Amino acid sequence: MSSKEVVSVKLAELVSVIKPEKIPSAMVSVTKNITLDTIGCALAAAKSSYTESLLRTSQQGGSGNIPIWGFQDGADIYSAALINGTNAHGEDFDSSFEGCPVHSGVVITPAILSLGHMTNASGKDIMRALSIGHEVMCRLGQITGTTVHQRGFHPTSVLGTLASTMACSALLHLRPKEMVNAIGIAASMCSGIIEYLSDGSSTKRLHAGWAAQSGIRASLLAQAGFTGPEKSIDGDHGVFFAFSNGTNQNYEILTEDFGHKWISINTAIKAYPSGTMTHPFIDCCLQASKEINLNEVDKIICDVGEGTVHRLWEPLKLKQNPPNEYAAKFSTPFCMALALHHNKLNLNSFSELYLSDKEIIRTANKIKYKINPNDPYPKEYIAKIFVQLSSGQIKEYSKHCLKGGRHEPLSKPEIIAKFQDNLSYSSLKLSNANKLIDQIYNLEELRNINQLNLSLR
């Protein structure tokens, strides 16, 4: 795009001409995998305390018929998107993009399925809107890299609000001018600080649901004639000025070959329910656990990318001794210690029982880091650890990619197995779950998305 072109105008023009049949089969397959995985992650959180809080608040605001995944009762459209998105992101088991750790599935899926229920959208239109939303969010993430995190904000919330709005605008078939207004409105809804890192409080969970409902609200307001600033992304007081490192960005990453090249194909389906960049280190420990005696370990030093330190390593003493289960998910030392002691990591790994396990805590306190200036994060997610034994021997373990990512993707049977495991934490009937799997993998053939939504209750 030329320097004179307004980013939101160019993006709206590109989105408005995308036809469902022009989306490549590989992107369609990825979108289906993300959809199933997102719903499964939400079902896994159905009996959590934070879900109970969300449901209670929703009931105070009135009733509605938009499905809350895994529950018989529905809610109004905004509450349903908020609850489904929050639940799906709640255990940090949801899909993540390699290039910038944004979680598009837990933002775009609840927004589009909720809005699609209200509009009686076809499966084909749902597939188009989902794919557009994932692509916008991942491209925005590639522009910002680590800068949103460095400013103290959560990219999934900030960038997700914009992407959700474009996806909802696409589903509503808004005209380009209306889309520009929608994203301008959405820019004033972007938010999400990452202070949850200090004490493991629940606000990160809320970020995905907030972005999902904001996209619905912004697009419907624009459809009704409300206006927003045209330069909401690249203006002197726009989103990139407020949340990234200024307006001087390479916006061509967002618009170049949009609709022809789909970078969100590189979305990873997570193998472990913890912060994405803990995963390569978990894999190193799963290798090491087969070979070493933990009683003989003096210390473990990890090579890390600088961009991960402030979220997953520091303050080091806090990360080695996380205050609660949620904080533990964003502690590389604790996740590594769990993997070393249990030879696995799953939803049951993060419990009060293991937080108070003296052996696990002792191992976590032996784990430290050093910054590797050549670490490719966020372009690649890798790990290398050095285990020093009491004998003086040093054993080295490395992982050169993210399990579940583009270099080591989970297969369709593995993704379905993960969904079925997550299902065991909910009350959804197995017959409904099997029907849901079939409907998602034949999404574009559904005449009305409400056929799928009925299976979610």
**404 domain-assigned:** no
Mark whether 49 and 167 lie in a shared domain. Answer: yes
Residue 3 has pLDDT above 80, yes or no: no
Same domain, 208 and 234: yes
In this prediction, residue 62 carries a pLDDT of 75
CA 57 → CA 63, 90, 218, 398, distances in Å? 11, 17, 22, 46
What integer pLDDT is reported at residue 2 of this predicted model?
59
- Domain region containing 357: 276-399
Please state, as a whole number, how many other Cβ atoms lie within 10 Å of the Cβ of residue 118.
18
Asked whether residue 117 is assigned to any structural domain, the reply reads yes
DSSP 367-386: EEEEE-TT--TTTS--EEEE
Number of H helices, E strands in the chain: 22, 8
- Domain assignment present for residue 439? The answer is yes
Asked if 290 and 185 sit in the same domain, the reply is no
Interval 380-402: pLDDT, tens: 999 999 999 999 999 999 999 99
> How far apart are the C-alpha atoms of 149 and 228, rounded to whole Å?
26
Whether residue 291 has pLDDT greater than 70:
yes
Spatial distance between the Cα atoms of 115 and 120, rounded to a whole number of angstroms: 8
CB 405 within 8 A of CB 303: no
Closest CA to 15 of 266, 258, 260, 262: 258
Residue 78 has pLDDT above 70, yes or no: yes
Checking if the pLDDT of 300 tops 80, the result is: yes
In a shared domain, residues 230 and 315: no
Q: Are residues 367 and 449 in the same domain?
A: no
Judgement on whether residues 259 and 388 belong to the same structural domain of the protein: no
Share of the chain above pLDDT 90, in %: 94
- Which of 198, 71, 44, 214 has the alpha carbon at shortest distance from 133? 214
Residue 270 confidence (pLDDT) above 70 = yes
Instruction: State which H helix or E strand residue 401 sits in.
Output: none
Residue 187 near residue 162 (C-beta atoms within 8 A): yes
Same domain (yes/no): 86, 234: yes
List, in order, residues 6 or more apart from 69 with CB less than 8 Å away: 39, 42, 43, 46, 84, 87, 88, 456
Q: What is the CATH number of the domain that holds 33?
A: 1.10.4100.10
Domain membership flag for residue 2: no
Residue type, 62: G
Q: How far apart are CA 84 and CA 46, in angstroms?
A: 9
The dihedrals phi and psi of 456, each to the nearest 5 degrees, come to -90, 5
Please give the pLDDT value at position 247.
74
For 129-152, write each residue's pLDDT tens digit.
999 999 999 999 999 999 999 999
Same-domain pairing of 393 and 419: no
Pair (174, 44) in one structural domain: yes
Indicate if 53 and 130 belong to the same structural domain.
Answer: yes
**Domain holding 290: CATH number?**
3.30.1330.120
Residue 405 covered by a domain: no
Provide the token pair at 428.
């959804």
pLDDT mean across residues, the chain: 96
Whether 54 maps to a domain, the answer reads yes
Condensed to tens digits (0 to 9), the pLDDT of residues 410-439 reads 999 999 999 999 999 998 988 899 999 999
Count of structural domains within the chain:
2
The answer to whether 108 and 137 are in contact (CB under 8 A) is yes
Q: 382 and 248 in one domain?
A: no
Res 311: pLDDT: 96
> Which structure tokens are listed for 456?
């979610």
Q: Check whether 1 has a pLDDT greater than 70.
A: no
Phi, psi (deg, nearest 5) at residue 398: -140, 155
For the whole prediction, is pTM greater than 0.95? yes
Distance CA 416, CA 437 (A): 8
338 and 247 in a common domain: no
Compute how many other C-beta atoms are within 10 angstroms of the C-beta atom of residue 152: 13
CB 67 within 8 Å of CB 80 = yes
Between helix 203-223 and helix 105-119 the angle, nearest 10°, is: 40
| Nearest partner of 31 among 123, 134, 102, judged by Cα | 134
